[in-house]
Amino acid sequence: MHRPALEREIQLVGHELAKAFPSRRGHPIRALDERAMDLAARDEELRAALFRFVDVVPACRSAGDLATHLIGFLDEVHDQPPPLSAAMRMACSGAGRAALGAASAASVRHMAHRFIVGSDPRAALPTLARLWHDAIATSVDLLGEATVTAVEADRYAARCAAALDVLAPAYAAMDPHPLLERDSVGVLPRANLSVKVSALTPLLRAEAPARGRDDAAPRLRELLRRADALGAHLHIDMESLDSREAVLELVLELLAEPEFERGPSAGIVLQAYLRDSPETLDRVLDWARATPRPGVALVVRLVKGAYWDHEVVEARSHGWSVPVFEEKAACDRNFETLTERLMQARPAVRVAIASHNLRSVSHAIACNRLQGGSDADVELQVLRGLGDDLGHALATLGLRVRAYCPVGDLVAGMAYLVRRLLENTANESFLHDQATGVPLELLLAPPAT
């Protein structure tokens, strides 16, 4: 690809997108207590205290219990900003503790609702319909506790099947949206569900991938059948590196089974933060070319990856080389390289670019256009609650957008919420840059080499 032309196009797209952003009625973290989040981003101890509190909220049984935990965490913050000292004083009396606990639980719940669209798929329908009306498709993700037993795996599979049963007819009843329903490969299903293999089996073992793969296979096969019957799309999420082998083998093996040759539409995830993601892509593309699925080409969702801290800590604690890029620029470069490779690999695969980084998204759109692709041939994904403004800007420009929408109760949502908050307050976070007013030229600059 001609680099100067690509850079020019990226700038063009980026500026268009920036203009289409909803005016400063707020940046993506507006609903959080901005001051608290700002403090948290600057103060490691406070950040840790707040996250530990968010994490334990669902396990607390009373307002007093909540306050006790909150105060316990804040105790460990050395430099308490004035509002926290006030909270600490409040906790000296029983009534004060109850009030503090109730108030803090309410704000955590409020925060959670930004990210979690409903307690179950049916409760989420009004939000999903509103998004569809705004030209934003969705992928629903069912939050849940970790699966440690076979019963829990069965229960999760049943919830997934039930979600498909709810989503497919609900989406069928919505108004047509040609942009969201067809690309040059064929029909794009309206109902779209993301599933996690770690929830489909209690037997994922990093050193024995076949075990989890074989145990999850019957449950995933049933879900594929159900999705096929309902004309829905099933997307299999990627999690930490410990389970990558099992997930990849499972999905590629099942989708190669003759019964799934013509459906359902299905997809996997490629994590650009992994240093060896280019080799993983080789493997996926080899498979896709050897396993034609007419009209239902494999969707590859390119993400940065959401387990960065986990991967770094795990590798360091074992003395292994860190499997993820430790510099943001290196990761961003890889993201762009993988984007280009994926686009060139079409129509063997369909491409979805999931990023909140204005540069990465603009790069993908520009790349597609320069390759002569129609805008419909690249899907742009955002996370509900974090990428809302970007999603609306993309939709305004007539691009094809899908929002990843977690559904579930508060207990189940906490792990998800903590991960998103970590991402949001990380100093190198794009959202953080954007929220703190880094100029557009810098946001759109090519990743440093």
Note the residues at the interface with another protein (CB under 8 A). 52, 55-56, 59-61, 65, 68-69, 72-73, 75-76, 145-146, 148-152, 202-203, 205-211, 241-242, 245, 318-320, 415
Residues facing residue 350 across a β-bridge: 299
Residue 358 Cα distances to 33, 125, 281, angstroms: 24, 29, 23
Helices and strands: H and E segment counts in the chain: 20, 8
HSE of 435 in the Cβ direction (CA atoms, 13 Å)? 24
Q: Is the peptide bond before 347 cis (omega within 30 degrees of 0)?
A: yes
- Minimum distance between the CB of residue 412 and another protein, rounded to whole angstroms? 10
Tell the smallest beta-carbon distance from residue 41 to another protein (Å). Answer: 22
Minimum CB separation of residue 415 from another protein in Å reads 7
Residue 116 vs 241, nearer CB to another protein: 241
Min CB(399)–another protein separation in Å: 37
Q: Going by DSSP bridges, is the β-strand pair 192-195/233-236 parallel, antiparallel, or unpaired?
A: parallel
Q: DSSP letters along 239-287, please?
A: --GGGHHHHHHHHHHHHTSGGGTT---EEEEEETTBTTHHHHHHHHHHH
CA-CA distance, 157 to 201, in Å (whole number)?
9
Sequence-distant (6+) residues with CB within 8 A of 306 are 419, 423
CB 300 within 8 A of CB 241: no
Q: Establish whether the linkage from the previous residue to 189 is cis, with ω within 30° of 0.
A: no
What residue has token string 């000292």? 85
Three-class secondary structure of residue 159 per DSSP:
helix
DSSP 190-222: S-EEEE-HHHH-S---TT-HHHHHHHHHHHHHH
Return the axis-axis angle of helices 410-425 and 94-115, rounded to nearest 10°: 80
Minimum distance of another protein from residue 59's CB (angstroms): 5
The distance of closest approach from Cβ of residue 197 to another protein in the complex, given in angstroms and rounded to an integer, is: 15
Measured from the CB atom, the residue of 74 and 270 that comes closer to another protein is 74
Amino acid at 411: V
Q: How far is the CB of 398 from another protein (least distance, A)?
A: 42
> Is the Cα torsion angle 104, 107, 111, 117 positive or negative in sign?
positive
CA dist., res. 266 & res. 300, Å (int): 9
| Cβ at position 149, least distance to another protein in Å | 3
Provide the minimum distance between the beta carbon of 37 and another protein in the complex, in angstroms, as a whole number.
21
Show contacts of 154-162: CB within 8 Å, 24+ apart: 154/219, 156/199, 156/200, 157/200, 157/219, 157/222, 157/223, 160/193, 160/195, 160/223, 161/222, 161/223, 161/226, 162/121
Q: Which is nearer to another protein, 150 or 229 (CB)?
A: 150
Least distance from C-beta 215 to another protein, angstroms?
8
CB nearer to another protein: pick between 35 and 316: 316
| Tokens matching residue 152 | 């829990």
Q: In this structure, what token pair is assigned to residue 230? A: 């309902």
Distance CA 336, CA 367 (A): 9
Considering the complex, what minimum distance in angstroms separates the CB of residue 314 from another protein? 10
